[in-house]
Amino acid sequence: MKADLACTPLDEHQRRRLVAHALAAIFAGLAGGAVYTVLLSGRLELWPLPPLRWTVAGDAGAWSRTHTGPLLNALLVLALAGVSPLLHWRRGEARAFCLALLLTLWGNTCGYFVAAVSGSRGLGAGEGPGNHLAYLLFLVAALGVLTALALAALGLRRRAA
């Protein structure tokens, strides 16, 4: 078999990169959860310091999504990085898989934050610049996850062959 047709799994550097990005997204999700908590309570409490009154702009549902969305996307990346030894690709496909997962992870994570801060949902291209940006980020993420899942299925099929 020619070297360019040889099928290999993700290398350790690629897996470590995916894990590092997933951990950063988990941190972002926890930060979104902290803002969500402040929004619901109307104050910031860091015991033993006295509580600080703090008003957060935005919708509680949007900040809830900003908390849970990055966490779920990070879990997807961790799961696919974890099963990656079962997936084999030709040269360049593994790199495309990693890039697609990172676009999914950060497109969604940034999209949730932009939507929450701008008071939008990002479900369509209209309704102001914040909504437009959130929509574009979610669109990039959707294309990324479809690409990653297609490449994962291809890698699994090649492994079975």
Asked if residue 66 is part of any domain, the answer here is yes
Asked if residue 111 is part of any domain, the answer here is yes
Round to the nearest angstrom and report the end-to-end CA distance of the chain.
Answer: 14
Interval 75-130: pLDDT, tens: 999 999 999 999 998 889 999 999 999 999 999 999 999 999 998 877 777 778 88
Asked if residue 60 is part of any domain, the answer here is yes
Predicted pLDDT at 130: 84
Examine residue 70 and say whether the peptide bond preceding it is cis (omega within 30 degrees of 0): no
Asked if residue 2 is part of any domain, the answer here is no
Predicted pLDDT at 1: 45
| Structural domain boundaries, residue 30 | 8-160
Asked if residue 1 is part of any domain, the answer here is no
10-14, 30-34, 45-49: range with lowest mean pLDDT: 45-49
